[in-house]
A and B are shown apart, each in its own frame.
Chain A
Amino acid sequence: MEHIPILRMGSFLLITVQVDMHDRLALQLQDDLTERIVQHGSHGVLIDISALEVVDSFIGRMLGNIASMSRVLDAQTVVVGMRPAVAITLVELGMSLPGIRTALTVERGMEILRGDVENSMQELEAEEPERAADGSSEV
Chain B
Amino acid sequence: MSTSRIPEILRKHEAALLDDWTREQNQLGDISHRLSEADLRAQSRRFLQLLQEAATRGDAADTDTEAFREVRRFLEEVSASRAALGFSPSETATFVFSFKQPLFNQIRASLPSAEDQLAEIWTATLLLDKLGLYTMETYQKTRESIIARQQEEMLELSTPVVKLWDGVLALPIIGTLDSSRTQTIMENLLEKIVETGSELAIIDITGVPTVDTLTAQHLLKTVTAARLMGAECIISGIRPQIAQTIVHLGVELGDIITKASLADAFRIAMQRTGHVVVRKAATSRL
Contacts and interface: CB of A to CB of B under 8 A. Distances in A.
Interface residues of B, number: 18
Contacts of B224: 91, 96
Nearest to A88: B225
B230 interface: yes
Contact of B227 (A80, A81, A96): A96
Interface in B191-234: 191, 193-194, 197-199, 221, 224-231
A114 to B, nearest CB: 16
A92 interface: yes
B170 interface: no
B190 interface: yes
Contacts, number: 55
B229 A102 contact: yes
A59 interface: no
Contact of B225 (A79, A80, A84): A84
Contact of A108 (B194, B199, B221, B226): B199
Given A84-B187, A104-B193, A104-B199, A91 B230 contact: no
Interface in B220-258: 221, 224-231
Nearest to A103: B230
B226 A87 contact: yes
A18 interface: no
Given A84-B190, A84-B191, A90 B228 contact: yes
Interface residues of A, number: 20
B114 to A, nearest CB: 73
Interface in A43-97: 79-84, 86-88, 90-92, 96-97
A108 to B, nearest CB: 7
B186 interface: yes
A120 interface: no
9 closest A-B pairs by CB: A84-B190, A102-B230, A103-B230, A87-B225, A87-B228, A104-B230, A91-B225, A96-B224, A82-B229
Given A80-B230, A102-B228, 19 more contacts: A79-B228, A79-B230, A82-B230, A84-B190, A86-B228, A87-B190, A87-B229, A88-B225, A91-B221, A91-B225, A92-B221, A96-B227, A97-B228, A102-B227, A103-B230, A104-B229, A105-B197, A105-B230, A108-B199
20 contacts: A79-B228, A79-B230, A82-B230, A83-B194, A83-B229, A84-B191, A84-B229, A87-B190, A87-B226, A88-B186, A90-B228, A91-B224, A91-B225, A91-B228, A102-B227, A104-B194, A104-B229, A104-B231, A105-B197, A109-B230
Interface of B: 186-187, 190-191, 193-194, 197-199, 221, 224-231
